[in-house]
Amino acid sequence: MEKILHSEKGCSAQSVSDTSGSAQRMRLLAYLHQHGSVNTFQAIMLLNILRPGARISELRAQGHGIVTHLGTLKDDQGRDHQKVATYYLSTGPVQKVAS
């Protein structure tokens, strides 16, 4: 069964089974616009993006202002992981990495 990324306004969102780079970038950008941020764990689990940092780099190269914050987050098993990236859409000048 194909997984579908659901939006708050219904089921009009994209399929997460498309693993092409362009489809991953579209899902990632749509999620950022809808939710304001996404962390590495969310991108992998919810959006089926194996290398979110690569997709973020490609989106930045396309001119999207995305800020990275590195922090400690818990995985789905409750284990702490340091320097996990959380990405935010920027409304101002973009810094490289905030920690």
Exposure of 78 in the CB half-sphere (CA atoms within 13 A): 0
Helix (H) or strand (E) holding 72: strand 66-74
Domain count, the chain: 1
Answer for the pair 16, 3: CB distance below 8 angstroms, yes or no: yes
Tell me the CATH number at 68: 1.10.10
Residue 26: which domain range? 21-98
- The answer to the question of residue 8 being in a domain is no
- The answer to the question of residue 88 being in a domain is yes
Radius of gyration, CA atoms only, the chain = 14
- The answer to the question of residue 12 being in a domain is no
* Predicted confidence (pLDDT) per residue in 5-55, tens digit: 544 333 334 589 999 999 999 999 999 999 999 999 999 999 999 999 999
The confidence score (pLDDT) of residue 84 equals 98
Categorize the per-residue pLDDT at 93 as very low, low, confident or very high, splitting at 50, 70 and 90: low
Residues 42-45: contacts with CB within 8 Å, 24+ apart? 43/87, 45/76
